[in-house]
Structure 1
Amino acid sequence: MKIIKKLWPLVMAMLSGTMLAACFPGFISESWLVWLWILPLMLALWLGGGEKKRKRYGFGVGFVAGLTFWLINLKWLIAMGELDTVPLGGAMFGWACLSLYLSLYFGFWGMFAASLGNPWRGKRVSEGEKISSNIEKKLSAKAEKKEASGFTLSLRVLQFSFMNASFWVVLEWLRGWLMTGFGWNGLGVAFYDVLVMAQAADLIGVTGLSFFPVMIGASVLQTGKRMAEELKVGRFKPHWEIGVSMGIIAVTFAYGVNRMSHFSNVPTKDVSVLLVQENIKQQMKWDEMERPKHYDGYEKSTVQALEKLEQENTEAIRKQIESGDEGELVLKQPDLIIYPESSLTQELLFLKDEEGVYLLPENDRLLTSDFMKQGNHHLVFGSNLVRGKEYPNGGIGYDPEANEIYNALAIATPDLKKETVQPAKSIKTYGKNHLVIFGEYIPKLPLLNTIMEMSSGASFGSNFSKGGVTDPIDIKVRGDDLQIIPSVCFEDTVGRLERKFVRTDAPQLMVNITNDGWFGTSEAAMQQMANAKFRTVELRRPMARSANTGVSCVIDMVGSLMNHETGKRNMVEDETGNHFIKGTLFAQAKVPVNPEWTVYAIAGDWFVIACTLLFLALAFVTLKKA
C-alpha cells in the first residue's frame, strides 16, 4: 500500500503530461484535451502526499508532469542528430537539457498548487499536541451556528481557481521571457485548431488564453467535491461558481464568433503572393558545391509557377471572350515572390554608413535574371547580411574585424532591374532581432563554448548580431502603399516582438521566412506554424510564410489557412497533407485596407500584469485566512 501511495501521484502526473502533449501537432493533435489534461495533475497535487514538505512534494509532481510533456513535445530536437555537424548524442543531450529546464516551471506551479494553492489542505494536530476540550466544544458549537453559505463556498472555489490560473499565466510568460525566452506551445496554443476560442488573443495574447483551461480544471474538481459532500448530507446549496466559470467561457466564445464575423466583412485588398518551397535537406543547404544547383532550383520553380499562371490567365481570357462577358477580369500575377530563410546562401555585403547592399556573383545572377526583369513583383528572400569593407584593389569583401553578421530578410523591389551599379539601393533588408540561444548566439559564460563544441563536434564560430530595428518595410504594390512586418525563423512565435511593428497609416502584411530543415521531417515545422497563427489574431494582420521544408502557407486575420473560394488550405502540401515536398503556392493574402489597433498591439501583455496582481492579492487573502 505504501508503494501505491507513493506512486499514484507520479502516475497521474505522467498521465497529465501525456494528455497535454496530445493537444499539439506531432502526437495525436486532439486540442479538446486541453480542458482535461490538468485534472489528474491537480488531483495528485491536492490529495497526494503528506502534510509535511508539501512544497517539495508539489514541485516533484509538477516537475514529472512537465518532463513527461516536454520530452514528448520536443522530441523533434533529436532529428538534429541526423546532421553531419550534430552527433546524435549531442542532439539528445540538448533535448534532455531543454526539457529539464522547461519542466522547472511546471514544478514551481506544482509547488504552489500543492501548498497555498490547495483548497483541500488542512492542519493535522500532532500526537504530542494537547487541545483543551472546552475550546473544542466552543469551536464545534460556533461552526454549527455559522455554517458557510452557498455564496461563500462558491467564492472560495473561484478564489482558488483564479489564483492557480493566474500563477500559471505568470510562469508561462516568464518562460517566454527569461534568457531570451522559449514561449513555445503554451496552453493557449492548444486552441490553434479551435479558432473561436483563439480570437480572444487580440485582447489578452496567446499567453492569456492559458488562464481558461487551468481555471476550469480547478473549478471542476472543487465543485465536484462540494457536490459529493452535499450528496452525503442530502442538502444542496447554490453553486455560483458554475455560472461564473461557464459565463467566462461563454463570453469568450461569443467574442470569438463576433470577431470572426467582423473580420470576414472588413474591407480588404488582395496581395498576391507566390510561395516557393524547395525542400532542401539541411545537410546540403550550405554546401558551396551545391549552391548553383539550389539557385537554379529556385529560379526554375519560380519560372514554372509564373508560366503556369500565364497559361491560366490565357485560358481565363479565352473563356471570357467566348462567353461575351464584359466584366473586369483579374489576372493572376504575384505581387510578392517569397523564398525561405537563408535561401540565398551567398551573403549580402554592406558598408557602414552606406545605403544599399553589394551583390556577389551568384546572388547578382539570380536577382537580375529574366523573371525579375520581366515582372513587376518584389522578391522576398533570406540571406546572411555581412558587414564588409573596401580593399586596396577596389573590391568589396568581408570585414573580419567588424564581425557583424545578420540573419536577414531582404526584399528586392522591381526597381532593381533599373540599377546598373552597386550598391543595389533597391534591396531593403531587415536583420533578425530575436536570436535563438545556442543556435545563433552563445552567452559569454565560462566553459560554455567548450561544452557546445564537445556536444556538437564542431566549432561554433561567431555569434549573429541583433538587428534592433522594429520598423515595418515600406513598399509599393500596384501603386499603393504596403507595409511588410518582417520576421525570420522563430520570430513569428514571439508576440511581444511582432506587436512593435504595428502601424495604422498603411495596410500591413506579416511575412515570415523560416528554415525548419534542421529538424528533418519531424513535427517542429507544424508546431511552429501552430504558434505563428496567433500573431495574425493578436495583431489582426494576415501572414504569408515561406519555409524551406514547410509549412509554407497564408494565414488570414482570424488564424485560418482555409481558402473559402476553393475549400482547400492555402498551404504547400500534397494530396495526403504532407508538407515535406518541393512545390509552390499562389494565393491571395487579404490585407485590411484600414488596419485596426488591437488591445494586444497597444498594451502587450497587460493581462499578465493583471494576473500577477490578482495572484498576489488572492495569495495574501489566503495566507491571512490560514
Structure 2
Amino acid sequence: MPDRPAAGDGRRGAGPLPGWMRLPLAVLAGVVIGLGQPPYDLWYLGFAGYVAAVWLFLVTPGGLRSAGTGWAVGLGYFGFSMGWIVEPFFVDAAVTGWMAPFALIGLAGGLALFWGLAFRLSSQGRYPVIGLVLAWSLAELARAYVFTGFPWALVPYFWLPVPVIQWVSVVGPHGLTLLTLAAAGLCALALRPGGARAGLAGLALLAALFGGGVLLTPAAQDLAARPVVRLVQPNAPQHEKWDPQKIPVFMQRKLEFTRAAPAEGGAAPALIVWPETSVPNLLHRAGPTLDRITEAAGNTPVLLGVQRADQAGYYNSLIVLAPGGGVQALYDKHHLVPFGEYMPAAALFARWNIAGLAARAEGGYTPGPGPQVIDMGPLGSALPLICYEAVFPQDVNGAPLRPDMLIQITNDAWFGTWSGPFQHLAQARIRAIEQGLPMLRAANTGVSAVIDGAGRVLVTIPLGEAGFADAPLPPPMRHTPYSRTGDLPAGLLMFVAIAALWAGSRRRRTPESD
C-alpha cells in the first residue's frame, strides 16, 4: 500500500515533490538556515530557511522519505555552519589532515540524524506540523545532552542580532527553539491553499517574539564607578604556539600587555585575564614563569589558563595568581572535547594510531569535578568556563550558586579565521543573556570581549590581532527565570505535548471515533 499522508493531516493541497528535486532543495534550505549564523548573521534568511524546511516536510510523502528530507536539511545546515571543524586537523596537516573530510562528514551527517528522526516521527500523525515542531524541538534538546551533548548552533541562535534572542533569559534556548519552529510552521502552512489564518497566526507570533524581546532587553548600565578589567590577547597561531623559538615571543608579548599603563585618565585594572593554556609549562614546573607574570602585574591578580598534572592524569586548568605570588584559586575543566581533549574508547582507536588532537597522555585529559564558583575578592565571585564549556547552557546553569560574573578563557586558534571564532563568541553572548551576568572572554587569537548581561559587546579585541583591552566590569543584572529553572520546564512541556498529541491520535483511530 503506498505511503501517503492521511486526510486532514495538514498536507492537503500540497503535492509531493520527487526525490531528485526534494533532497537538493532540502540541502539548500539547510544552507540558507546556516546563513543566519555568524559570521553572516542574516537572521531573516535563517528564519526563511526554517519555513522552507517545514514546507518541504509538507510536500514529502512521509515515512522514510520524510526522514531523508529532514536529514538532508540537517546535512546542509551542519555541513555549512560547522565547516570550521576541519581547521584543527590542518594545524598538523601531515599527521591529521587526512581526518578533516571524515570529521566534517561525520559531524554533519551524525547531527543531521537528530533532525531526520524528528521528521520521520512526525510524518504519520494527524497533525504533522504540530508533531514536527514538538519532535524537532525535542531533537535539539537531545542534541544538547546525548553522548555528552553538542549544542553548537542551536535553532534559535540566529536571533542574536535582533531582540528576539532576549527570550532565552525566560524560556531558555530550547523554549525559544519551540517558539521559533512554531512560527516557522505556521508560516509554512500559509503557503498552502486556505492557509491565510495560519499565516496571520504566524505573523502574530513573530510580532510577540519581537515585541517581547524589546521589553525584555535590559537598559544599558551606568559603568562610571565600576572596577576595570584587562583582557590580554597574544595572537599566537596554533601551528606556532608551542614552537620553542616562538614561545618566548608570545610570552614576552603577554607580559608587556600585562604591565602596560592604562590609557590616559583611565584606572588601573583590578583584574587581568589571559587566555586558555597561556603558560608553556605544566603548573608544577611553572614557578619561574609565574613569578615573571606576578612581577609584571604588580598589585593586580591575574587569571590565566595552564595545564597541570598529578597522579590521576593531565588537566586543562585555570588559576588565579594573587598579587605578590601564589595560586589563590584553581579550576579544572570538566566538560572535555571528545576526540580533541580525550578519546572515547582510546585503546580501540590506538590500534589505528589515532589519538586526540590535544592529548597529552593516552586517553587525553582528565575531567575536573564539575562547575565551580571561585572567589575573586572585591570583584565578587566568578564561574570559570574553559573554551568548550561556554557552549553548554546546562553547565552554566549547573553552578553551585549564582556568581557575579562569567569568565571564559579560550584558544580559538583551533577554529581558524572564518566562522568558528565568531560562532563561539555568539554563544558566549547568549550565555550572558540567559544568566543576566557579565561575561569576560579572553581568547588567544580572538575574539576577546567584555559582554554585559544583555549580551551587548562593550569592548573587543578583533580576531587575529595582538593587544589588550581595558573596560569597566558590568555588574550583574536581574536573576533571570531561566537561571532559576534551567531546561526542565521546556523539556516537560515538549514531552507532555507529544504525549497528548499521540494519545489524541490513538483515540481518533478507534472504531468509536470513526
Could you tell me which amino acid in structure 1 is paired with residue 104 of structure 2? W
**Alignment partner for residue 601 of structure 1, among 483, 494, 505?**
483
Where does residue 70 of structure 1 map in the other structure? Answer: 78
Where does residue 367 of structure 2 map in the other structure? Answer: 466
Contact 2:231 2:272 in 1 (8 A): yes
Please state how far the C-alpha of 1:451 moved relative to its aligned partner: 4.1
Please state how far the C-alpha of 1:404 moved relative to its aligned partner: 2.4
Q: Distance in 2 between matches of 1:604 and 1:455?
A: 32
Are 1:276 and 2:232 matched, yes or no?
A: yes
Are 1:499 and 2:397 matched, yes or no?
A: yes
Please state how far the C-alpha of 1:449 moved relative to its aligned partner: 3.1
- Call closer, same or farther: CA 1:528–1:10 in 2, change over 3 Å: same
- Identity in percent: 24
Q: Distance in 1 between matches of 2:146 and 2:126?
A: 24
Are 1:346 and 2:281 matched, yes or no?
A: yes
1:281-300 aligned within 5 A: 281-300=237-256
Contact 2:68 2:116 in 1 (8 A): yes
- Call closer, same or farther: CA 1:193–1:465 in 2, change over 3 Å: same
Are 1:435 and 2:336 matched, yes or no?
A: yes
Contact 1:176 1:183 in 2 (8 A): yes
Please state how far the C-alpha of 1:597 moved relative to its aligned partner: 2.7
CA displacement, residues 314-344 of structure 1 (integer Å, 9 cap, x when unaligned): xxxxxxxxxxxxxxxxx42111111100011
CA displacement, residues 216-259 of structure 1 (integer Å, 9 cap, x when unaligned): 2221232443526x9xxxxxxxx3x5565444443433332222
Q: How many residues align?
A: 492
Q: Distance in 1 between matches of 2:370 and 2:178?
A: 32
Q: Distance in 2 between matches of 1:56 and 1:537?
A: 39
- Call closer, same or farther: CA 1:6–1:596 in 2, change over 3 Å: closer
1:155-554 aligned within 5 A: 160-161=129-130, 163-194=131-162, 196-227=163-194, 239=197, 241=198, 244-261=201-218, 263-264=219-220, 270-303=226-259, 306-309=260-263, 312-313=264-265, 331-349=266-284, 360-369=286-295, 371-373=296-298, 376-387=299-310, 402-414=311-323, 417=324, 424=326, 426-444=327-345, 447-451=348-352, 453=354, 461-477=362-378, 482-501=380-399, 503=401, 508-554=404-450
Contact 1:405 1:465 in 2 (8 A): yes
Please state how far the C-alpha of 1:347 moved relative to its aligned partner: 1.4
**Alignment partner for residue 581 of structure 1, among 454, 465, 476?**
465
Could you tell me which amino acid in structure 2 is paired with residue 333 of structure 1? A
- Call closer, same or farther: CA 1:217–1:537 in 2, change over 3 Å: same
Could you tell me which amino acid in structure 2 is paired with residue 378 of structure 1? P
Gaps of 5+ in 1: 120-159, 231-238, 314-330, 350-358, 388-401, 564-569, 574-578
Q: Distance in 1 between matches of 2:100 and 2:199?
A: 47
Are 1:43 and 2:55 matched, yes or no?
A: yes
- Call closer, same or farther: CA 1:117–1:413 in 2, change over 3 Å: farther
SS at match of 1:332: coil
**Alignment partner for residue 22 of structure 2, among 6, 9, 34?**
9
- Call closer, same or farther: CA 1:433–1:621 in 2, change over 3 Å: same
Could you tell me which amino acid in structure 2 is paired with residue 191 of structure 1? W
Q: Distance in 2 between matches of 1:482 and 1:455?
A: 37
Where does residue 620 of structure 1 map in the other structure? Answer: 503
Please state how far the C-alpha of 1:308 moved relative to its aligned partner: 4.7
SS at match of 2:194: helix
Q: Distance in 1 between matches of 2:382 and 2:291?
A: 25
SS at match of 2:460: coil
Contact 1:187 1:210 in 2 (8 A): yes
> RMSD across aligned C-alpha pairs, in angstroms?
2.7
- Call closer, same or farther: CA 1:90–1:224 in 2, change over 3 Å: closer
TM-score by length of 2: 0.88
Could you tell me which amino acid in structure 1 is paired with residue 236 of structure 2? I
Are 1:109 and 2:109 matched, yes or no?
A: no
- Call closer, same or farther: CA 1:585–1:456 in 2, change over 3 Å: closer
Please state how far the C-alpha of 1:111 moved relative to its aligned partner: 0.9
Q: Distance in 2 between matches of 1:429 and 1:511?
A: 13
Q: Distance in 2 between matches of 1:450 and 1:117?
A: 50
TM-score by length of 1: 0.73
- Call closer, same or farther: CA 1:449–1:191 in 2, change over 3 Å: farther
Contact 1:378 1:412 in 2 (8 A): yes
Contact 1:109 1:168 in 2 (8 A): yes
Q: Distance in 2 between matches of 1:35 and 1:166?
A: 17
- Call closer, same or farther: CA 1:345–1:30 in 2, change over 3 Å: same
Greater relative contact order (CA < 8 Å, ≥ 6 in sequence): 1
Could you tell me which amino acid in structure 2 is paired with residue 72 of structure 1? F
Are 1:55 and 2:9 matched, yes or no?
A: no
SS at match of 1:368: helix
Please state how far the C-alpha of 1:190 moved relative to its aligned partner: 0.8
- Call closer, same or farther: CA 1:588–1:452 in 2, change over 3 Å: farther
Please state how far the C-alpha of 1:56 moved relative to its aligned partner: 0.9
Please state how far the C-alpha of 1:444 moved relative to its aligned partner: 2.6
Please state how far the C-alpha of 1:307 moved relative to its aligned partner: 2.3
Please state how far the C-alpha of 1:299 moved relative to its aligned partner: 0.6
Q: Distance in 1 between matches of 2:205 and 2:165?
A: 14
Structure ID, larger Rg: 1
- Call closer, same or farther: CA 1:407–1:280 in 2, change over 3 Å: same
Could you tell me which amino acid in structure 1 is paired with residue 108 of structure 2? S
CA displacement, residues 138-182 of structure 1 (integer Å, 9 cap, x when unaligned): xxxxxxxxxxxxxxxxxxxxxx43x32222121101111111111
Please state how far the C-alpha of 1:445 moved relative to its aligned partner: 6.2
Q: Distance in 2 between matches of 1:550 and 1:451?
A: 35
Please state how far the C-alpha of 1:39 moved relative to its aligned partner: 2.9
Contact 1:188 1:208 in 2 (8 A): no
Are 1:83 and 2:91 matched, yes or no?
A: yes
Please state how far the C-alpha of 1:265 moved relative to its aligned partner: 5.5
Please state how far the C-alpha of 1:501 moved relative to its aligned partner: 2.4
SS at match of 1:485: strand
CA displacement, residues 69-108 of structure 1 (integer Å, 9 cap, x when unaligned): 1111121122224312643211222122111111101111
SS at match of 1:199: helix
Q: Distance in 2 between matches of 1:386 and 1:411?
A: 17
Gaps of 5+ in 2: 1-15, 510-514
Could you tell me which amino acid in structure 2 is paired with residue 109 of structure 1? A
Q: Distance in 1 between matches of 2:355 and 2:306?
A: 28
Contact 1:14 1:68 in 2 (8 A): yes
- Call closer, same or farther: CA 1:610–1:71 in 2, change over 3 Å: same
Q: Distance in 1 between matches of 2:247 and 2:340?
A: 22
SS at match of 1:274: strand
Could you tell me which amino acid in structure 1 is paired with residue 261 of structure 2? E
Where does residue 572 of structure 1 map in the other structure? Answer: 461
Contact 2:448 2:461 in 1 (8 A): yes
Contact 2:429 2:451 in 1 (8 A): yes
SS at match of 1:557: coil
Please state how far the C-alpha of 1:288 moved relative to its aligned partner: 3.9
Q: Distance in 2 between matches of 1:70 and 1:298?
A: 36
Please state how far the C-alpha of 1:4 moved relative to its aligned partner: 7.5
